[in-house]
Amino acid sequence: MNIPYFCIKNSTRSLLLFLIICTAACKKSSPINFHIIKKPATIVVLGSSTAAGGGANPRDSGWVFRLQSTINKTEQKARFINLAVEGYTLYKAMPTGYHHDDRPLPDTARNITKALSYLPDMVMINFPSNDIAANYTDEEILNNYAKLTHMLDSAKVAYIIFSTQPRDFQDSSQRTRLKIINDKIDYLYPLHANDYLNALSTPTWSIKPIYEAGDGIHINNSGHEVIVNKTLQQPLLIQLLNR
């Protein structure tokens, strides 16, 4: 029996159309797997001797080095840029161009302006006692923190403010100020504070003997470990590393 040509032609078209629809449906339903490589977070540290490793032996047992090593133990999750310098106060971290009579000028290679130039995901601020040792007022200290945090908020950069630290000041009023300033930081920056003052201190805000580095100013390796462990529990850092 002869099948008319137009019937064969229509059947062929129908078959082709069916195959096209099936192919498209299969492609649409097949999952496409992408391997997403996460870029390590950039964390910049501003601070003084403790952040620079002061009191630790060897120096790379300091909290910044140990925190970086712990975070990156299995894979690189964060790149640390440590701008801390021994002896620095908050004034050294003020933005480029900042000036206050009779106070240190900012270090343009180690200040907040420099920190922001790295386009960080987070800035850690660690100035534990030098401002109090220099007899700067509470108002000065808090105003300087306000200036730094305003710039970080404006740049939408996360930040952590590390607590004050015990120090064997001979003047008990200076030791008391360590606690007063710390409480004010906790109150003003509840989400950003990283408070370990009590863990390192005696009841009179001197350094606990087990954490003494020997100079009455710095903490030893065990003291740095306290800071590392407390920092690893800070919610903003946890959120950054799990993004």
What's the chain's average pLDDT? Answer: 90
Tokens linked to 224: 């740095």
Work out the pLDDT band at 70, boundaries 50, 70, 90. very high
Model pLDDT for residues 11-25, shown as the tens digit of each residue: 555 544 554 444 554
**Residue percentage of the chain with pLDDT more than 90:** 84
At residue 14, the pLDDT reads 54
Please give the average per-residue pLDDT across 188-206, as a whole number. Answer: 98
Contacts of 31 (CB under 8 A, 6+ apart): none
Beta bridge partners of 44: 81, 123
- pLDDT value of position 13: 55
**pLDDT surpasses 90 at 195:** yes
Q: How confident is the model at residue 36 (pLDDT cuts 50, 70, 90)?
A: low
> What is the per-residue burial (b if ≥16 Cβ within 10 Å, else e) of 161-181?
bbbbbbbebeeeebbebbbeb
DSSP 161-212: EEPP-----SSHHHHHHHHHHHHHHHHH-TTTEE--HHHHB-TTSSBPGGGB
Residue 7 pLDDT greater than 60, yes or no: no
SS3 158: strand
Nearest to 95 by CA among 179, 12, 22, 154: 154
Distances (CA, A) of 204 to 172, 175, 224: 8, 7, 20
Its pTM stands at 0.85
Is pLDDT of 4 > 80?
Answer: no
Among 69, 103, 104, CA closest to 228 = 69
| 24-38, 81-95, 188-202, 207-221, range with the lowest pLDDT | 24-38
- Average pLDDT on 87-102 reads 97
Tokens for 203? 């009841």
From 7, 90, 49, 70, select the one nearest 238 (Cα to Cα): 70
Q: In the prediction, which pLDDT does 38 show?
A: 77
pLDDT at 29 over 70: no
